[in-house]
Structure 1
Amino acid sequence: MRELNLDQVRTLLAVADLGSFSAAARALHLAQPTVSLHITELEARLDARLLVRGHRRVEPTAAGVALIERGRRLLREADEAVDAVRRQSRGLAGRVRLGSSTGVVVDLLPQVLQALEGEHAGIEVEVSILGSAEALARVAAGTLDIGLVALPQPPLPGIRITPWRTQPVMAYLPDRWKAPRRVTPAWLAAQPLIFNDPGTHLFRLTMAWFAAAGESPRARIELNYDAAIRSLVAAGYGAALLPAQLEESVLSNARIQVRPPSPRISRRIGIAHRARGTDGSTAHVIELLERFRG
């Protein structure tokens, strides 16, 4: 059996509700022969009589009543589906899939999500914790809408990457250590160290900073979660190079001291998304991110 035609179901409901083909034609802005054709084709498709002409009005048969009851739900759900697609396309509602590292999610993204809630409450951002390479791959594959990725990145066909934020990287040290006002690679290489996971861009940035000064230290532990690294620093386990936090919570931690590295290090972050086919909800999130550019 062929699938139901929703326009024909809509016509059936109009005839049953209004009691005549002519009244249904006027309500649907159709010619009366078109209304008759819709009912004839629907009955042929279902191999069932759906309407009978009474003395004063057209009445549904038992089969017609069964289809009308379910048809109302079908049409309501179809209208809701169309409305949801339109709202998503216009950016009034929808789900946007965003991927980024833990540091960006914890340190930079909350203020963006707070602003989004105030301006576009119908848009839900689904956040995945991903490294830059995986985030870019998912954006390219269409399983992620936006990636907040470390820069620079190699160009990918169909993917647009624009600079977003630059974060200074600071040295986080246990408070009981006697540390210079500015931390050099030579001094830091002689201390117990906590590094990011080798697969991260921050790890490569850190190792390049040491290598430029002729140092190649090894870490006591490697993690991919900045908050856990800061906790280990506070416990005296070692020192770490991490992006500076916007909030002052770390600076107020009596067990951690923060020192600028010399030479300076900065982490650059970009917004990656598909160059074409971006829906309205994704466009709104990108526009909001760009307002926090810095």
Structure 2
Amino acid sequence: MRALNLDQLRTLVAIADLGTFAAAAQALHLAAPTVSLHISELESRLDAALLLRGKRGAQLTSAGQVLVQRGRVLLRDADEAIEQVRRHAQGRAGKVRLGSSTGVVVYLLPQVLAMLAQQYPDIDVEVSVLGSKETLARLEAGSLDLGVVTLPLPGASPLQCTPWRSDPMMAYLPADWVVPDAITPAWLADKPLIFNDSSTQMYRHTMSWFGQAGFSPTARIELNFTEAMKSLVVAGYGAAILPLEQEQAPHALGVHEAMQMRPLRPAMRRELVLVHPAHELLPAGALPVLEVLREFAQA
């Protein structure tokens, strides 16, 4: 037996719902002979009478009732499949792999992901918590689609780069320290320090700030989880230099009452950029993710 024709099945369901061939033809924008041909071919294909034709219209046979009942499910599944393919083709669905640092993931990405879930519910963003160096490596290897990384980028890269945010760097200090209104490299260099890992862009950024003033301090500990660094500051273990990743009051940033924040002098900023391959190499869904990320751009 040949496979069912969905157009013919849709015609049968329309007749069952509307009662006549003429009404079905009008609803489906088909010529009357085409509707008749659909039904005759469907009955021939199944070797079963599906409709009883009368003066008052058409009525389903028992076989027709079974086919219409199952046919509604088949047509709904087919329509959903077509819509899913259309969403993928239009970039409104798909899986997008994004890499970024812990601070961005904790403080900035939740807002982005909430907007994406509202505007593009069929786009699944898989987030990996990575340093800038590893994010760039995975992008070039093809195991990530988008990245949020810290400038400067090391060496030449085939990836496309778009400025995203510029956040002030702040000194996070234990509550019992007596500190000036602004923190200079000279004042901070001989204090116990909590740095990002030496392989990270943030470490190089911080050391450049000290280096330009003629200092090269040694960290008491190096680690890459922003909240863990803050917890060590709260415990009095040392001071950390971290970006202020939200424009909110310190208590809204999760800054504990046992920790102080001060601006740096000279001021320093953490520059974040969006990095990705050429648009034609991006998967379905990546462009809407980029669009929403750009809505959160900040100079």
Which bin holds the TM-score, normalised by the shorter protein?
Answer: 0.7 to 0.9
Give the C-alpha shift of residue 163 in structure 1.
0.6
Do 2:16 and 2:59's aligned partners in 1 also have CA atoms closer than 8 Å? yes
Do 1:94 and 1:281's aligned partners in 2 also have CA atoms closer than 8 Å? no
Q: Which amino acid is 2:279 matched to? A: A
Please name the residue that 1:196 is paired with.
196
Distance change >3 Å, CA 166–CA 77, structure 1 → 2: same
Do 2:112 and 2:293's aligned partners in 1 also have CA atoms closer than 8 Å? no
Please name the residue that 1:255 is paired with.
258
Please name the residue that 1:71 is paired with.
71
The number of residue pairs the alignment matches comes to 284
Q: Secondary structure at the match of 1:38?
A: helix
Give the Cα–Cα distance (whole angstroms) in 1 for the partners of residues 257 and 20 of structure 2: 82
Give TM-score, length-normalised by structure 2.
Answer: 0.71
Give the Cα–Cα distance (whole angstroms) in 2 for the partners of residues 173 and 24 of structure 1: 76
Give the C-alpha shift of residue 5 in structure 1.
3.8
Q: Which amino acid is 2:68 matched to? A: I
Which has the higher mean CA deviation after the structures are superposed, 127-136 or 70-79?
Answer: 127-136
Q: Secondary structure at the match of 1:163?
A: strand
Q: Secondary structure at the match of 2:30?
A: coil
Give the C-alpha shift of residue 217 in structure 1.
1.4
Give the C-alpha shift of residue 257 in structure 1.
2.5
Please name the residue that 1:49 is paired with.
48
Give the Cα–Cα distance (whole angstroms) in 2 for the partners of residues 214 and 31 of structure 1: 85
Give the Cα–Cα distance (whole angstroms) in 2 for the partners of residues 141 and 167 of structure 1: 29
Q: Cα deviation per residue 1:151-198 (whole Å; 9 max; x = unaligned)? A: 3336665x5421121112222121223445554546544332222244
Give the Cα–Cα distance (whole angstroms) in 1 for the partners of residues 273 and 79 of structure 2: 38
Superposition pairs of residues 271-286 of structure 1, within 5 angstroms: 271-273=274-276, 275-276=279-280, 281-282=288-289, 284-286=291-293
Please name the residue that 1:149 is paired with.
149
Distance change >3 Å, CA 226–CA 70, structure 1 → 2: same
Give TM-score, length-normalised by structure 1.
Answer: 0.72
**CA RMSD, Structure 1 to Structure 2 (Å):** 4.1
Give the Cα–Cα distance (whole angstroms) in 1 for the partners of residues 23 and 288 of structure 2: 41
Give the Cα–Cα distance (whole angstroms) in 2 for the partners of residues 255 and 18 of structure 1: 73
| Structure 1 residues not aligned, in runs of 5+ | none
Give the Cα–Cα distance (whole angstroms) in 1 for the partners of residues 219 and 61 of structure 2: 82
Q: Secondary structure at the match of 1:152?
A: coil
Please name the residue that 1:217 is paired with.
218
Q: Does 1:34 align with 2:37?
A: no
Percent same amino acid among aligned pairs? 46
Distance change >3 Å, CA 223–CA 62, structure 1 → 2: farther
Q: Secondary structure at the match of 1:247?
A: coil
Do 2:100 and 2:127's aligned partners in 1 also have CA atoms closer than 8 Å? yes
